[in-house]
Amino acid sequence: MPVQDITICAGMTDERTATTLRLLRKLVWPAVVLLLWGGLHLADRTLHRRAYELLLGGDTSGAVSMLGAVVSLEPDFYIHRGKMGKKALVEAFRTTGKMLKSDVAWIYDTGAPVIGTPAIASGSVYIGNNADMLYKLDAGTGEVLWSVGVGGDVETKPLVTGDVVYVASHDGLHALSTEDGEQKWFLNIRWAESSPVMASGVIYIGADNSQFLAVGASSGKQLWAFATNGPVESSPAFASGRVYFGCNSGTLYSVDVETGKLAWSYEVGGGIEGMPLVLDGAVYAGGKEGIFVALDAGFGHKLWEKNLGGSIQSSAAGTGKTIVIGTMSGRLFGLSAVDGKTRWVYGGGGPFESSPAIVDGTVYVGCHYGFLHSIDLQTGEEQWRFLTGWDIDESSPAVGAGIVVIGSLDGRVYALRKK
């Protein structure tokens, strides 16, 4: 090779090397910052978990002291609750420490995030987790009566009827014996996140493949399928011979249970994940665009509509006068069932993806800051709030047998005595 060519090649190599070095220098500081942030986040998360374990163990002062080592300037120092600030979190630890001594019936650690909603039936609590497990717990003590693997994460609410518990997991719909958890039948439904309901011996459930299904409760055989505009995560509501449910494209459906034929549909706007509320001849539902509607249950005509200013990803609860619904903007609304006018707004928590439950004039609901809230239905005023070990995602409170039960992403199931 001529000397000139060798010189050119050497020059090109030197230029590539210089370019590579310049690029590496530019990447050094971002890499250092990323490593520091990651290490800080891991340290904060570890400290927070340890602090909460101390709290559960009865050492409130030790828990608060350890919480003081958390770096509050680190973004979301323990996922969502970092946004409430360390001072408010310390106060929540102290309040929860007192409630642990007087108001907690039991706590059970499943070892994996609990996103599903518990069901209470015949003195037992049924709940699943994200390690493919379904548990039957004694409602009085939290003792495990049995646990079974179901082949997929359980992010739904079990349905208990007689001696059978039906549960939808990410691999499909299971029918199990309430006595020992033995499987009676299984129907494959891809990524099932719709909780089943039953009427007249038929199970109704949504599917991820843009279908809504009717299934024989005793046989597990599909009776009919209704095609939708998108995946159905919404759990159905049954009333007067129809099922009402939404889909991820924002369509709300009313379907005749005998024929599987459409009665009416309505475009709410934004995906509908929550179960519609059917009450006194009206259907209430909201979508991710923040629109909440009341429709005539028979014909689907709009009665009223309200923009709540935040994504709606949960179900509503209501009485004859007040409808309660939460948004991902961190506000819980008490609305007039008649015209949708705001009666009160509660802002004492983080984003509400958990659906409220109303019992004896009290609203119970979880939030992404990890609180289980108790709120007066008439005034919207907070009665108490209890802090779990991590976020409360879609798990919604179940009330019965003298307790209020909810699951948390920390893997625990919490049972508080109903006051």
Band of residue 47 on the pLDDT scale cut at 50, 70, 90: confident
Structure tokens at 234: 């919404």
pLDDT number for residue 76: 64
Angle at the Cα of 91 (from 90 to 95), degrees rounded to 5? 120
Does residue 155 sit within a domain?
no
Structure tokens at 331: 């506000």
Lowest mean pLDDT among 100-109, 232-241, 345-354: 345-354
Secondary structure class of 306 (helix, strand, coil): strand
How many Cβ atoms from other residues are within 10 Å of residue 313's Cβ?
23
Q: Which pTM does this prediction carry? A: 0.91
pLDDT number for residue 29: 72
Q: Taking residues 222-232, what's their average pLDDT?
A: 97
Band of residue 1 on the pLDDT scale cut at 50, 70, 90: low
Q: Taking residues 191-216, what's their average pLDDT?
A: 96
Does residue 19 sit within a domain?
yes
pLDDT in tens, 328-372: 999 999 999 999 999 999 998 899 999 999 999 999 999 999 999
Does residue 50 sit within a domain?
yes
Backbone angles phi, psi at 8, to 5 degrees: -65, -45
Nearest CA-CA partner of 366 in 322, 315, 299, 305? 315
Nearest CA-CA partner of 280 in 261, 295, 265, 264? 295
β-pairing, 332-336 with 322-326?
antiparallel
**CA-to-CA distance for 387 and 333, rounded, in angstroms?**
21
Q: Residue 352 is which amino acid?
A: F
pLDDT number for residue 7: 47
Does residue 209 sit within a domain?
no
**Which value, to the nearest 10 degrees, does the dihedral of the CA atoms of residues 91, 95, 100, 103 take?**
-160
pLDDT number for residue 33: 67
Does residue 26 sit within a domain?
yes
177 pLDDT above the threshold of 70: yes
pLDDT number for residue 27: 66
CB distance 109 to 128 below 8 Å: no
Does residue 81 sit within a domain?
yes
Q: Taking residues 236-260, what's their average pLDDT?
A: 97
Q: Is 320 buried (19+), middle (13-18) or exposed (0-12) by CB count in 10 A?
A: exposed
pLDDT number for residue 83: 78
Longest dimension (CA), the chain: 95
Percent of the chain with pLDDT over 90: 80
Q: Taking residues 170-198, what's their average pLDDT?
A: 96
Q: In angstroms, what CA-CA distances link 248 with 194, 209, 234, 243, 286? A: 12, 11, 8, 17, 12
Q: Is 240 buried (19+), middle (13-18) or exposed (0-12) by CB count in 10 A?
A: exposed
How is 232-287 classified by DSSP, letter by letter? --SPPEEETTEEEEE-TTSEEEEEETTT--EEEEEE-SS---SPPEEETTEEEEE-
For residue 400, what are the β-bridge partners?
Answer: 403
Q: Is 98 buried (19+), middle (13-18) or exposed (0-12) by CB count in 10 A?
A: exposed
Structural domain harbouring 40: 3-101
6 pLDDT above the threshold of 50: no
**CA-to-CA distance for 409 and 412, rounded, in angstroms?**
7
**CA-to-CA distance for 51 and 78, rounded, in angstroms?**
12
Does residue 32 sit within a domain?
yes
3 pLDDT above the threshold of 50: no
Q: Taking residues 186-191, what's their average pLDDT?
A: 92
Structure tokens at 127: 């709940």
297 pLDDT above the threshold of 50: yes
- Average pLDDT for the chain: 92
Band of residue 381 on the pLDDT scale cut at 50, 70, 90: very high
Q: Is 134 buried (19+), middle (13-18) or exposed (0-12) by CB count in 10 A?
A: buried
How is 365-419 classified by DSSP, letter by letter? EE-TTSEEEEEETTT--EEEEEE-SS---S---EEETTEEEEE-TTSEEEEEE--
Q: Taking residues 165-191, what's their average pLDDT?
A: 96
pLDDT number for residue 142: 98
pLDDT number for residue 85: 81
Backbone angles phi, psi at 152, to 5 degrees: -170, 155
For the chain, the domain total comes to 1
Choose between 408 and 83: higher pLDDT.
Answer: 408
Does residue 148 sit within a domain?
no
Q: Taking residues 166-193, what's their average pLDDT?
A: 96
pLDDT number for residue 387: 96
Structure tokens at 177: 């014996």
Structure tokens at 292: 């909440």
